[in-house]
Chains A and B, each alone.
Chain A
Amino acid sequence: MTLVTADPFTMWHPVASAHDVPYRHVCHAQLLGRELAVWRADDGYVNVWENRCLHRGVRLSIGSNDGTELRCQYHGWRYANRSAGCTYIPAHPADAPARTICNRTFPSVERYGLVWSGEDPVGEPPTVDVLEAGTPFGLRNLPVDAPVELVLQHLQTHRFLPSGSLGAESAEMKVEWPDDYSVALTATDGADRSSSSASGSASGAGVPGSASGASSTAVFFVQPVDSGRSVIRAVLAETPPAGEQMAVLRHHATGLNGLVARIEAEAARLPAPEPMVPVLQQVPLHLAEMPEAPSGRQAALRVQVRRKWETATGVAAFELAPLSGVLPTFQPGAHIDVHLPNGLVRQYSITNGPGETSYYRLGVKLEPDSTGGSVCLHEAVREGDVLAVSEPRNNFPLRRDSMRTILLAGGIGITPLLAMAQALDRMSLPFELHCFAQSAAHTAFSDVLDRLGSSVVRHLGLPPDETVAEIRRLVAAHDEFTHLYVCGPGPMLEAARREAAAAGWPDDHVHFEYFKNANEIHDSSTFEVALARSALTVTVGSGRTILEVLRENGVPLPSSCEQGACGTCVATVIEGEPDHQDVYLNDSDHEAGDRIMTCVSRALSDRLVLDL
């Protein structure tokens, strides 16, 4: 019975106890030779990750758990709850980390007061009848410098007294084997001494002895830490009365300490086994090579509308949950494409705070001149519906290296800025979030804003000229350590950009995101586009876009809004003069002329050479 036959790599094992993972702590664990960082986010989820920062291999168990993200102590890379995706790299404050930068995660399930995980576990963690039927009570875990098999072998002979009769001289022990890595021992006081052949009977697992005296069953799960090291994690089937718990815990600790001393003495006489060498995941091919550019608008995810509610007058909020597994990592400022039942594709910012990774929360304003997007979401999409959405894309990244951040939100423009404000708040970075809205009833996500306290300033019911005056006041003073982020209706955004420029703000400190491109697009020109990498030259005629013509010629380019607002279809210009018609790039970018939005912009010169 003590021979371990199952493949431990396909099994679930306990890796920590629930009390080893209090909030805001990172537990250091090991299973089958592999080190793990185990931490509980503020939403209760227990993350089990490879204990290794992707950047320099430093242990994440010395990192800090801020309740939503784990931050590596070495260079401050931050990783999201659940997905383990990187959300911020301090050395590249202006860039959004690639979604592919993601730590290795292992499954986690809490059961019987233990955190279960595994290398590649099949099915569910074990269920043990006696614990299912009882009120499980965890004992103190004991690390043992000995192999699992030796620990299991010795556990068969382990003795303890039933919880109710710690004063007894001895108890009858019954041994059962729920599975290869656990032993269930039942101690019964006052059992008939004549039938003391005791151990070994395997049938009826978990049914307490029928003897008249007190009886306690404890299940001892043995965690294979490494080839020569284990942890005994014991769970009593019944929780003792509150007043007796300490005595019971002491009783078991004393007994197990003695057992561990005997096991270790024997292990010390045996030759030490070779330590296990965990297989570190190789960099997968798709990351090692130049990524294949996705073409068109991708909708790789299926999500379900978990909740829909009116968060403000004319603003519907949606919580989109994954159908299975976890959602891809998002960063503040990111948006997703939502593919609507009527065939339209619309972009919406993710409003979640850091660590809120079990759903994406969107806010959608019903536009009076809706061309079908907001009407469809408001009227046709209901709770329970399944939608196709793209993975998050961040073309509006938030720097977190400024001494002060000013966020200006106009109406529904609050959505990306809300995610930014929550991230800054969590990191204790100073910021102001100015919300311009018609009235309190028109302010979306007021509950979230309330939680951000005095950093939020509401400007309600201002007429346009007073809005401009207020913005002028807000951006009057600036320094090189302050960054400005603006999102809102076109006129408000134009005003903010104009006032900031007038006050002397450099372009690269003013970040903005338009809802849409209200410019009239001039598409009558005809020009040649040469692709430097692809050795291909195409002609873009009047009425066509660079993006369309390239796609027809088999050159894949990602896109999202396809109206020059979101920045997804950007290409690098090597030669030629672009005819910019987008609202994504700022004036300095337009002047520099080294990037172009291929969905709307064209060429003033006869020929453009692009780095594609």
Chain B
Amino acid sequence: MIKLYDYVLSVNCYKQRLMMSILGVEYEPVPVDFFPGWEHKGEEFRKINPLGHIPVIDDDGYILWDAHAILVYLAAKYDPSGRWYPTGDPGLLGETASWMLFAEGTTNTASAARLCVNLGYDFDLEACQAGAHRLFRVLDEHLWFRERGGRSWVCSGDHPTIADIALFPDVVLSEEGGISRLDYPALRRWTDRVKRIPGFELMPGIFPASPGR
């Protein structure tokens, strides 16, 4: 069974829990005392991941770190439909890769702001917040046009991809980092749609959506 080195309040760990829950993959969480213990920076943990960060998965001896890389691996290996990581469709795969890179940006701004506020990280909070607003504006417009084109997800297919999973936690928890989503109605509607994906799982700070009509 997959082992997930996990911290319950980490957005990047949540991305993995969410993906595995949706794909119906069983896993064993291994709690890491991220805060206040900084266990991931300790000598023992660096034997698993020399970079000293989580999440890390151990799939029967295969070790992989970096949240977005793990999503690629999980979807490629455990999604028989091939829709979450659409390797069979070069155009869609390119879009997925592009939005995964965009998600690095939201993680480094919106989720970084949350680390400043919640866990006292010494980042430039205002810069993180301003950066997140710039990206959210782009994403809101993008999703608005997707809706107008009859689509629901970040990529142009009719099924969500790992890009939706990579972006969702950064977006939905942004208010914890002082980033309001008042100005991004299309982004807010998209978070409702993600919450209605079968197998969706919550984490602290994320509320369920009501059942769709």
Name A's B-contacting residues (CB within 8 A): 16-17, 19-20, 22-25, 27-30, 35, 42, 62, 64-67, 71, 73, 140-141, 143, 231, 245-246, 249-250, 253, 257, 428
CA distance A143 to B212 in the complex (A): 28
* Stretch among B35-43, B82-90, B140-148 lining the A interface: B140-148
A24 touches B188 (CB 8 A): no
Within 8 A of A (CB), among B97-150: 141, 144-145, 147-149
Residue of B nearest to A19 (CB): B147
Q: What is the minimal beta-carbon distance from B195 to any residue of chain A, in angstroms?
A: 10
Tell whether B192 is near chain A: CB-to-CB under 8 Å. yes
From known contacts A140-B141, A249-B145, infer whether A20 and B207 are also in contact, taking CB-CB under 8 Å.
no
5 chain-A/chain-B pairs, Cβ below 8 angstroms: A24-B211, A29-B182, A35-B182, A64-B208, A64-B209
Partner among A27, A42, A73, A143 whose Cβ is within 8 Å of the Cβ of B213: A42
Within 8 A of A (CB), among B41-91: none
Residue of B nearest to A66 (CB): B210
Complex interface: chain A residues within 8 A of B3 (CB): none
What's the dominant secondary structure at chain B's contact region?
A: loop
Name B's A-contacting residues (CB within 8 A): 141, 144-145, 147-149, 181-183, 185, 188-189, 192, 207-213
Give the residue among B141, B149, B185 with the most A Cβ atoms within 10 A. Answer: B185
Closest 3 pairs (CB-CB, A-B): A64-B210, A143-B183, A23-B213
Residue of A nearest to B189 (CB): A25
A249 touches B183 (CB 8 A): no
CA distance A25 to B190 in the complex (A): 10
Given A24-B213, A29-B182, A231-B183, 10 more A-B residue pairs with CB atoms under 8 Å apart are A20-B185, A24-B210, A24-B212, A30-B182, A42-B213, A62-B207, A64-B208, A140-B144, A250-B145, A253-B145
CA distance A350 to B188 in the complex (A): 36
A24 touches B147 (CB 8 A): no
Complex interface: chain A residues within 8 A of B149 (CB): 246
CA distance A28 to B208 in the complex (A): 17
Q: What is the minimal beta-carbon distance from A467 to any residue of chain B, in angstroms?
A: 37
A246 touches B148 (CB 8 A): yes
B148 touches A27 (CB 8 A): no
CA distance A25 to B212 in the complex (A): 9
B182 touches A67 (CB 8 A): no
A24 touches B207 (CB 8 A): no
CA distance A249 to B145 in the complex (A): 9
Give the residue among A16, A64, A231, A257 with the most B Cβ atoms within 10 A. Answer: A64
From known contacts A140-B141, A246-B149, A253-B141, infer whether A24 and B185 are also in contact, taking CB-CB under 8 Å.
no
A249 touches B213 (CB 8 A): no
Complex interface: chain B residues within 8 A of A20 (CB): 185, 189
CA distance A581 to B11 in the complex (A): 63
Residue of A nearest to B188 (CB): A28
CA distance A62 to B209 in the complex (A): 9
B210 touches A67 (CB 8 A): yes
Complex interface: chain A residues within 8 A of B147 (CB): 19
Complex interface: chain A residues within 8 A of B145 (CB): 140, 246, 249-250, 253
Partner among A22, A140, A253 whose Cβ is within 8 Å of the Cβ of B189: A22
